[in-house]
Amino acid sequence: MMTQSNEAFVRALLKSLKGERGHIPIANALSDIGWELAGKHIEGIPYSIYQLLKHMIYWQDFLLLGLQGEQPKLPTHVKESWPDESNAENQEEWQKVIEHFLQGLEQACTITQTMKLDEPLEKYPDVTRAEHLRNIASHNSYHLGEIVVMRRLLGSWPPPSGGYPA
């Protein structure tokens, strides 16, 4: 039986994963970005939006594997979690990247709603499911802020759905 505090935690974690309340929903911040914009570089920023989202996918997938009982190998160096290519080859490939990321978010939300969050992970006994899910939410939130700033600098903010803060 789930207690009221557990239910409140699950609701808060879901909002953190999806990007509600504290900032724009993640899907709204990504859905209208075209592949050309995703590959643009801004002086002083070492990566494109495309590279940033691929980096987010790398770690989201890594953490999701841990939640599924696997123990993926940590990269030797963090640069391995960043793609070499600056952009997708076309809009279709870029859309697949966005869809992959959003499907991973949905998977994290499903785990949040269906599994015991206070249980330790099989391959990481000192880490609970809740901690792993919080890592996904905070890492994505951190980099979503960068995407929003990059979009502002590129003159592509707010999205059609609106953005807050404006």
At residue 1, does pLDDT exceed 60? no
3-state secondary structure of 120: strand
What distance in Å separates the CA atoms of residue 52 and residue 70, rounded to the nearest whole number?
A: 25
Q: Which two tokens stand for residue 64?
A: 């999701």
Region 69-82: mean pLDDT is 95
55 is in an annotated binding site: yes
What distance in Å separates the CA atoms of residue 74 and residue 80, rounded to the nearest whole number?
A: 10
Q: Each residue of 45-66: pLDDT tens digit? A: 999 999 999 999 999 999 999 9
pLDDT at 131: 96
Return mean pLDDT, the chain: 93
Q: Each residue of 116-153: pLDDT tens digit? A: 999 999 999 999 999 999 999 999 999 999 999 999 99
- Which of 32-41, 53-62, 89-98, 156-165 is predicted with the least confidence, judged by mean pLDDT? 156-165
The per-residue DSSP string of 121-142 comes to PSS-TTSBHHHHHHHHHHHHHH
100 is in an annotated binding site: no
132 is in an annotated binding site: no
Q: Each residue of 89-110: pLDDT tens digit? A: 999 999 999 999 999 999 999 9
Q: Which domains does the chain have, with CATH numbers?
A: 4-153 (1.20.120.450)
What distance in Å separates the CA atoms of residue 107 and residue 98, rounded to the nearest whole number?
A: 14
pLDDT at 5: 66
